[in-house]
């Protein structure tokens, strides 16, 4: 079995296993398995992507040798490769603008609220970057297939142009078009804040039902207070965007300070011999997860 065939088999096997893992992770696996599984698959994906780019480099070297050198390869492949890159970029513009334009027409016919779509459609069209999947498909083609050298060169050129050119200019394009963050369309999808409010309301309803005693007293008043506060807070923040960002940032800065104090305390306890190594690792892991979540919120509020 050739190296490319071996990679293809391994890649497809890992994709199949990853697909099964993704199907089961949200309902079957506990949180610990999901956390460890996510870390494992991030590492696997990183290694696979690195391997694919190594293989495309080796394959392009063979293409250049078969065409008689760099100069002859450029003379032979430059025109068709540039045409393919242009077709890939322009076809995404045609697809996005056509679909968004038709949706705007249908919304107008149905009397729905119209929103700006030319700017967002331009950004979506320019964001058509290609990556490792393109290379994997090109490498999986049989070596005896006619035109395989052109396909490999075109795949590499498409990724180079879309990632280096489009990827590095999408930020200035957004600023040039003066696009602002917009909420999801009414009646279609909920935004992040509204989804959080609905989730918190569902959690509070369950806690309230399970905490209710037959005599009317509460079995879990602390939980009821906690989830009730969360439900009220997320409901208020879902309609107060400006206050939400400032309050969340301030809240999680206090959380980060508390996490730092907790970490300093468990390190002090460990150095004084009052807790075991395993206890330190367990508590530190919990603090690390809390810190990652808190920093993500703070960074989001600052961006």
pLDDT at 87: 93
DSSP H helical ranges for 140-218: 148-161, 167-177, 192-211
Beta bridge partners of 218: 212
pLDDT at 104: 84
CA distances from residue 191 to 68, 79, 170, 185, 186 in whole angstroms, order as listed: 56, 45, 23, 9, 9
Tabulate helix, strand, coil % of the chain (nearest 5): 80, 0, 20
Q: Do 214 and 208 meet the contact criterion of CB atoms below 8 Å apart?
A: no
pLDDT at 26: 47
Instruction: Using 70 as the pLDDT threshold, list the residues of the chain that sit under it.
Output: 1-35, 113-115, 180-193, 239-245, 301-303
The alpha carbon dihedral of 164, 168, 174, 177 has a sign of negative
| CA distance linking residue 232 with residue 237, whole number of Å | 9
Number of Cβ within 10 Å of residue 252's Cβ equals 22
Q: Do 112 and 151 meet the contact criterion of CB atoms below 8 Å apart?
A: no
Q: Do 129 and 166 meet the contact criterion of CB atoms below 8 Å apart?
A: yes
pLDDT at 186: 45
DSSP at 26: T
pLDDT at 94: 93
pLDDT at 184: 43
pLDDT at 86: 93
| CA distance linking residue 19 with residue 17, whole number of Å | 5
């Amino acid at each position: 079995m050739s190296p490319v065939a071996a990679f293809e088999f391994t890649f497809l096997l890992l994709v199949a296993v990853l697909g099964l893992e993704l199907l089961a992770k949200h309902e079957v696996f506990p949180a610990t398995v999901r956390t460890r599984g996510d870390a494992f698959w991030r590492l696997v994906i990183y290694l696979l992507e690195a391997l694919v780019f190594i293989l495309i480099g080796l394959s392009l070297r063979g293409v250049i040798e078969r065409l008689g050198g760099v100069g002859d390869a450029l003379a032979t492949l430059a025109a068709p490769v540039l045409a393919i890159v242009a077709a890939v970029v322009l076809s995404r513009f045609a697809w996005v603008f056509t679909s968004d334009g038709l949706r705007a027409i249908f919304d107008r016919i149905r009397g729905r609220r119209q929103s700006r779509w030319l700017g967002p459609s331009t950004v979506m069209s320019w964001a058509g970057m290609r990556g490792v999947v393109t290379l994997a498909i090109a490498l999986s083609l049989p070596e005896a297939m006619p035109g395989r050298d052109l396909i490999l060169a075109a795949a590499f050129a498409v990724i180079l142009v879309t990632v280096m050119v489009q990827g590095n200019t999408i930020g200035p394009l957004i600023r040039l078009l003066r696009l602002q963050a917009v909420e999801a369309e009414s009646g279609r999808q909920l935004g992040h804040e509204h989804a959080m409010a609905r989730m918190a309301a569902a959690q509070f309803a369950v806690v309230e039902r399970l905490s209710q005693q037959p005599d009317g007293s509460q079995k879990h008043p602390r939980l009821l207070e906690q989830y009730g506060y969360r439900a009220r807070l997320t409901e208020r923040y879902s309609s107060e965007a400006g206050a939400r960002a400032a309050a969340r940032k301030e809240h999680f800065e206090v959380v980060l300070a508390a996490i730092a104090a907790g970490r300093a305390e468990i390190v002090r306890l460990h150095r004084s011999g009052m807790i075991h190594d395993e206890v330190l690792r367990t508590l530190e892991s919990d603090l690390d997860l809390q810190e990652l979540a808190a920093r993500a919120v703070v960074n989001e509020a600052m961006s």
